Structure 1
Amino acid sequence: MLDNGRVYLRALEPTDIDVIHRWENDCDLWRFGCATAPFSRHQIWEYLKNYTADIFAQKQLRMMVCLKTADNAVGMIDLFDFDPVNRRAAVGLLIDREYQRQGIGGDAMALLLEYARDVLHLHQVYAVVAADNAPSLWMFEKAGFRNAGTLHDWLLRADGGYVDALQMQLIVD
């Protein structure tokens, strides 16, 4: 288990179905990811049942972000688009609204980056972040990521407009 004394990262458990279902079906969060339709409890259950934490097979590793004091999941963090040849992966992070702006995302990111560097021996991690998502950009910058470029009109918004996305990159080794 990846642990810093306040926050820890753990594998997905079947008991996470309710919180994952809630997060995956929060339409307000869809603008930050790729979801465009709700997920059923059955779909989430099948995902949990078939999920393996083998990043080499799945090209993804998702973990739950938990607080030591409450021992409950307050978010998810993952490495995806894993490329073992070039030793890189994309990173995604979701922190429940109730727990945002408390440094939990930064703590979780630090733990994941340590794992990416020391266990997976990745050379770099990156994220594509909406240019108007100031809290996420601030967290990535604080974690050492730098803006590697702008993707113009990259993300379609619910109102039909587009927003730029920034490619945030960190060399970890």
Structure 2
Amino acid sequence: MSNSYSLPVVKLRAIEPEDLDIMYSIENDRSIWNVSVTNVPYSKQTILNYISNSVSDIYVDRQVRMMVENIYGEIVGIVDIVNFEPSHLRAEIGIIISPEFSGRGYGRAVLNAVADYAIRILHLHQLYAIVSVNNERSLKMFKCCGYKETSCLKEWLYDGKNYVDALMLQVFL
């Protein structure tokens, strides 16, 4: 994991109904659809149903989504731990940092916090991310936090016009 000095302090917490507007805004931001598996807009009702029906138990849902707060209680982003495989003790990670907090070290702080959670609470052996070769900022962030590039997935992502290669990055905990 990356050296945490000078990184902002973050808190991972469960999603609350009060987070509906922020989640609605993020889920419907078309500019990030090509880096996620989302490709349709979500209604507020659909997101509220997700919040209400999620057990928040990674062993039941095979995923967990958490809000990320800074020391002032401001929501700086969302982190997803998905594709959880309990028999192999691994999961995929995805994070979104709100544009107004981007470039301030929050991404690295979140990756460190998730790694700590994955080790202490979930007892995972590894985390991985799949990142577009064009997403230089994310690639740099993951690599700064100890993730290693392990494979190239050819034409893995579709940006609406072209297929783009993606890199698999892994960290062993």
TM-score class normalised by the smaller sequence = over 0.9
C-alpha displacement of 1:7: 1.2
1:141 aligns with 2:143: yes
Q: Which amino acid aligns with 2:82?
A: F
- Counterparts of 1:36 and 1:48, CA distance in 2: 19
C-alpha displacement of 1:6: 2.0
Superposition RMSD in Å: 1.1
C-alpha displacement of 1:72: 2.0
- Counterparts of 2:130 and 2:143, CA distance in 1: 13
- For residues 32-76 of structure 1, what are the alpha-carbon distances to aligned partners after superposition, in whole Å with 9 as ceiling and x for unaligned? 10111100011011011111210000000111011112x121100
Gaps of 5+ in 2: 1-6
- Counterparts of 1:6 and 1:140, CA distance in 2: 18
TM-score, length-normalised on structure 1? 0.94
1:164 aligns with 2:165: yes
- For residues 106-160 of structure 1, what are the alpha-carbon distances to aligned partners after superposition, in whole Å with 9 as ceiling and x for unaligned? 10110110110111110011010001001100110011000010011111112x2
Percent sequence identity over aligned pairs: 37
- Counterparts of 1:53 and 1:75, CA distance in 2: 18
Would the aligned equivalents of 2:8 and 2:109 in 1 still touch at CA under 8 Å?
Answer: no
Aligned structure 1 segments of 4 or more residues deviating by more than 6 angstroms: none
Instruction: Tell me the secondary structure at the aligned position of residue 81 of structure 1.
Output: strand
- Counterparts of 1:134 and 1:85, CA distance in 2: 32
Gaps of 5+ in 1: none
1:17 aligns with 2:20: yes
1:26 aligns with 2:29: yes
Work out the number of aligned pairs and report it. Answer: 167
